[in-house]
């Protein structure tokens, strides 16, 4: 790929060098003039003809930018949802009992159904009571498989069908959430998307 440079860039370097030797007041005034001149500069390949009648390089710059966007060096991979939980003091074992008896079997069923690729539970030491001390992590194959509120209803329906089969219907689950609300607080949910470099 050709290196792009402009005469204005070289002039800027020379002008900045001379500004360094100038007094501060004059340097500030001259710097504004140099910046104003450079903002309208056109980049041309090194060694390319310049001046009146020279070919325009704006079109080739646009095609290089378009090609760079199309040939990015990465793609998107899995999507991970992380629930930030703060379990109230003295209720950790009770909450872990729910995780092992209800949440994990649901995740296993979702994994067998091909809805998720994995799940994990993490414990942390928060600095204050308003920070999470447990993280529930669920990983989906890609954004199309993610049942969040981003558009496609099919993953949502599939995930709800699994939870109803393993746990109970939606009304029953809502009632259980009320009880869990007494022993833990859901502080937030974060969704991250893996970037896979080529």
The chain-wide mean pLDDT, for the chain, equals 72
Q: Domain containing 30: what range? A: 4-70
Same domain, yes or no: 147 and 99: yes
Same domain, yes or no: 108 and 121: yes
- Tally the domains of the chain: 2
pLDDT tens-digit map of 114-128: 889 999 999 999 998
Question: Which of 25, 54, 70 is a domain's end point?
Answer: 70
Question: Which of 18, 41, 70 is a domain's end point?
Answer: 70
3-state secondary structure the chain: CCCEECHHHHHHHHHHHHHHHCCHHHHHHHHHHHHHHHCCCCCEECCCCCCCCCCCCHHHHHHHHHHHHHCCCEEEEEEEEEEEEEECCCCHHHHHHHHHHHHHHHHHHHHHCCCCCEEEEEECCCCCCCCCCEEEEEEECCHHHCCCCCCCCHHHHHHHHHHHHHCCCHHHHHHHHHHHHHHEEEEEEEEEEEEEEC
**Alpha carbons 30 and 15: distance in angstroms, whole number:** 8
- Close Cβ partners of 158 (under 8 Å, ≥ 6 residues apart): 113, 115, 147
**Alpha carbons 47 and 44: distance in angstroms, whole number:** 8
Same domain, yes or no: 11 and 39: yes
Residue 24 pLDDT level (bands cut at 50, 70, 90): very low
Same domain, yes or no: 56 and 91: no
Q: Compute the C-alpha angle 46/49/53, nearest 5°.
A: 150
Residue 14 pLDDT level (bands cut at 50, 70, 90): very low
- Whether 59 and 180 have beta carbons less than 8 Å apart is answered as no
Instruction: Quote the pTM value.
Output: 0.59
CATH number of residue 87's parent domain: 3.30.70.100
Q: Inform me whether the pLDDT recorded for 22 exceeds 70.
A: no
Same domain, yes or no: 89 and 52: no
Same domain, yes or no: 176 and 107: yes
pLDDT tens-digit map of 79-114: 999 999 999 999 999 999 999 988 999 889 989 988
Residue 179 pLDDT level (bands cut at 50, 70, 90): confident
């Amino acid at each position: 790929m050709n290196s792009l440079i402009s005469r204005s860039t070289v002039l800027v370097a020379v002008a900045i060098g001379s500004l360094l030797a100038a007094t501060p007041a004059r340097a500030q005034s001259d710097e504004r003039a140099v910046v104003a001149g450079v903002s309208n500069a056109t980049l041309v390949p090194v060694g390319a003809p310049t001046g009146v009648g020279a070919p325009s390089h704006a079109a080739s710059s646009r095609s290089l930018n378009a090609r760079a966007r199309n040939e990015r060096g990465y793609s998107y991979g899995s999507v991970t949802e992380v629930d930030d939980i703060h379990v109230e003091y003295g209720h950790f074992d009770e909450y872990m009992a729910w995780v092992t008896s209800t949440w994990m079997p649901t995740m296993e069923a979702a994994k067998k159904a091909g809805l998720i690729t994995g799940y994990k539970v993490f414990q942390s030491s928060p600095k204050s009571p308003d920070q999470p001390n447990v993280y529930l992590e669920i990983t989906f194959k890609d954004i199309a498989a993610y049942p969040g509120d981003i558009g496609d209803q099919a993953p949502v329906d599939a995930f709800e069908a699994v939870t109803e089969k393993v746990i109970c219907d939606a009304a029953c689950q809502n009632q259980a959430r009320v009880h869990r609300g007494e022993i833990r607080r859901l502080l937030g949910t974060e969704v991250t998307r893996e970037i896979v470099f080529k």
